[in-house]
Amino acid sequence: MADHENLAEGARFAGSVPARPEAFPIKGCGALDWGMQSRLARIFRPATRRTVMLAIDHGYFQGPTTGLERVDLAIVPLLPYADALMTTRGMVRSTIPPASGTPIVLRASGGPSVLRELSDEQIAVGIEDAVRINACAVAVQVFIGGEHETQSVRNMTRLVDAGQRYGIPVLAVTAVGKELTRDARYLRLATRICAELGAHFVKTYYCEPDFDTVAAACPVPLVMAGGRKLPERDALIMAHNAIENGAAGVDMGRNIFQSDTPEAMIRAVGAVVHESVKPEDAYDQYVRG
């Protein structure tokens, strides 16, 4: 035996000191399996419990979006500043360097293009392929109030069931269309349904007033969607307001990669989210580059 000649003293085992189990700090995720918690801890920084996700999955329904024509040139240099990258399996395998270390949130729903009814989505990625890619989460669009509402909810619950088997969290993305509003009442409804049916975190839009009620009513982390391109100062104000009112992070795409200086913008967003920098100061940081 290794300790045969030099037995360890009993005091080294600290028998009088109670074990210190560490509670998982992410909202609503304390009862998840270790693998789920480990993946979520890569997406949400443990020190702040927040995330800056970079969304570049737009091409799955609208093709080469402005700013994403060459992901290798426009996005790969931004990866060191993103806590997670939301993208598709095709882009992962063709373009994203495996050594980047940036956690992948994998787009797992799809089907119709911008030329068709967008709510008519199906599950487009098997959970086994998400495992092969080493995704930290899978994302599915949920169209509450849309023409194919039940189908999209079913897509989500099927992914939740599969994710539970393999330890992969599911991000539910609340979709809004021209016929759906973005007020607090609707967003409370959509985000709560997603969480009640098993989503481990939810992405939704910012609204005024009462975004705080949307975040409070959602029992899992709420990540703010960046939405359409805004002037940089306005995008930073929106991110700040979302965080101040309960969001656990942001998932921005166009407001970063369509910026005149994307690297400066994602760094400014990170300062708002993780350092609680005021938007005016973050904008000054962006201008300085």
Q: Which of 45, 7, 2, 6 is nearest to 25 (CA)?
A: 45
> Is-catalytic flag, 178?
no
**What is the Cα–Cα distance from 8 to 3, expressed in whole angstroms?**
7
Burial of 5 (0-12, 13-18, 19+ CB in 10 A): exposed
Q: Which of 43, 49, 68 is nearest to 256 (CA)?
A: 68
Catalytic, out of 27, 203, 229, 278 = 203
Q: How far is CA 251 from CA 46, 106, 166, 178, 266, in A?
A: 17, 13, 24, 21, 11
Q: Which of 84, 105, 241, 240 is nearest to 169 (CA)?
A: 105
Q: What is the DSSP string of 209-266?
A: S-HHHHHHH-SS-EEEE--S---HHHHHHHHHHHHHTT--EEEESHHHHTSSSHHHHH
The DSSP letter of residue 26 is S
Classify the phi-psi angles of 255: left when phi > 0, otherwise alpha if psi is within -120 to 50, otherwise beta.
alpha
Look at residue 2 and give its three-state secondary structure: coil
Q: Report, as residue numbers or ranges, the catalytic residues.
A: 203
